């Protein structure tokens, strides 16, 4: 039996295109969450240095002026900004899951960096598959990014945005006995009235369904489009129709899908705070565990490659195998066994 503890999900606008100011604001939110008794705080998708909404508002070629600044303000591993976030986690005795644009030798990734309460890094994951036009900005992760980690608070995992619409990705996470899940979202204010799937109803429901499907607590952090962001990116009447201010719908859900904690208006900043009692997971698991007693592995199974897939590998690496094209098996999304 474990003791209940508090967690926090951030609903706030980023310091757009200003990494240092974003880290300053993050530290204030970390301190606020800790002062309210939270042991874990979750931040929105690419909150440092902000989600690049401009990619949805114009042709890719027209967005090239943003590229140098966005790249320069995307965080680098072991940088001063990285160390400041680690120090904030340690000084406040709180775990932090930060949504970042992660610069790795010039290639950007949609990352979630998980700091332990001791300031040590628990994980640095990459979004497995950036969504739609995001692929003009970001690279892809691999199977090693789909991991749930043991911590002093429980088993914690994380996914970004529409990774929560990927059934196999969810199943891979559920299979690792995930108890607390961080769902990092940007904001829900794009193409209102024209793309229902991008709105808060569908995507908040995705976080809620994740909780009840996986019998876990879900911290759904969500950003806001600020006045400054709107004025910078929406410089024509057409763009002003495509992206709206606000759009914050941070939520926390229990393992039965029940909403927990306070609700913040979509145009306001703050923290959603809720109590987590891991003992409640047993009730959900008793009814429906999709990777346990409620599964049918004789009918359906997931093939899951957890190994890293680096673009360069040492020749003598045990995973580096020379396979002829004649002998190689074709990759198929589904393997069917008959008889």
Is-contact 95 123, C-beta < 8 A?
no
- Which among 235, 38, 228 has a CA at the least distance from the CA of 117? 38
- Which among 77, 76, 20, 9 has a CA at the least distance from the CA of 49? 20
Whose tokens are 């690419």? That residue is 46
Is-contact 55 24, C-beta < 8 A?
no
Q: How far is the C-alpha of 232 from the C-alpha of 54, rounded, in Å?
A: 9
In a 3-state reduction of DSSP, which class is residue 122? strand
In a 3-state reduction of DSSP, which class is residue 218? strand
Q: How far is the C-alpha of 209 from the C-alpha of 207, rounded, in Å?
A: 6
Alpha carbon separation from 332 to 145, 329, 335 (Å, rounded): 21, 9, 7
Long-range contacts of 233-242 (CB under 8 A, 24+ apart): 233/53, 233/54, 233/57, 234/57, 239/57, 239/58, 242/56, 242/57, 242/190, 242/191
Strands (E), 133-266: 149-151, 154-160, 180-185, 217-223, 251-253, 259-260
Active site residues: 45, 127, 161
Length in residues, the chain: 339
In a 3-state reduction of DSSP, which class is residue 247? coil
Spatial neighbors of 213 by CB under 8 A, at least 6 apart, are: 170, 174, 290
């Amino acid at each position: 039996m474990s003791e209940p503890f508090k967690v926090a999900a951030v609903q706030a606008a980023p310091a757009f295109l200003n990494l240092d100011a974003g880290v300053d604001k993050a530290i204030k939110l970390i301190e606020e969450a800790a002062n309210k008794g939270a042991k874990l705080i979750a931040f929105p998708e690419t909150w440092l240095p902000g989600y690049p909404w401009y990619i949805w508002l114009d042709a890719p070629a027209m967005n090239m002026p943003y590229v140098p600044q966005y790249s320069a303000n995307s965080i680098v591993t072991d940088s001063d900004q990285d160390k400041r976030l680690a120090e904030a986690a340690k000084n406040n005795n709180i775990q932090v899951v930060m949504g970042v644009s992660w610069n790795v030798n010039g290639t950007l990734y949609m990352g979630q960096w998980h700091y332990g309460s001791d300031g040590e890094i628990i994980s640095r994951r990459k979004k497995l598959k950036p969504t739609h036009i995001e692929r003009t900005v970001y690279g892809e992760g691999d199977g090693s990014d789909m991991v749930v980690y043991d911590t002093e608070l429980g088993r914690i995992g994380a996914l970004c945005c529409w990774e929560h619409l990927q059934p196999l990705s969810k199943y891979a996470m559920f299979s690792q006995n995930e108890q607390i899940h961080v769902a990092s979202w940007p904001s829900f204010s794009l193409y209102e009235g024209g793309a229902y799937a991008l709105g808060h109803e569908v995507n908040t429901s995705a976080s809620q369904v994740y909780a009840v499907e996986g019998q876990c607590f879900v911290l759904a952090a969500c950003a806001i489009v600020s006045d400054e962001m709107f004025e910078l990116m929406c410089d024509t009447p057409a763009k002003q129709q495509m992206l709206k201010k606000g759009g914050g719908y941070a939520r926390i859900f229990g393992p039965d899908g029940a909403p927990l904690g306070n609700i913040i208006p979509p145009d306001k900043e703050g923290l959603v705070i809720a109590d987590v009692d891991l003992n409640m997971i047993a009730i959900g698991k008793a009814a429906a565990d999709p990777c346990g007693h409620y599964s049918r592995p004789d009918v359906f199974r997931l093939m899951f490659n957890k190994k890293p897939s680096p673009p360069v590998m040492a020749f003598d690496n045990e995973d580096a195998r020379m396979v002829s094209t004649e002998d190689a098996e074709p990759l198929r999304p589904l393997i069917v066994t008959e008889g």
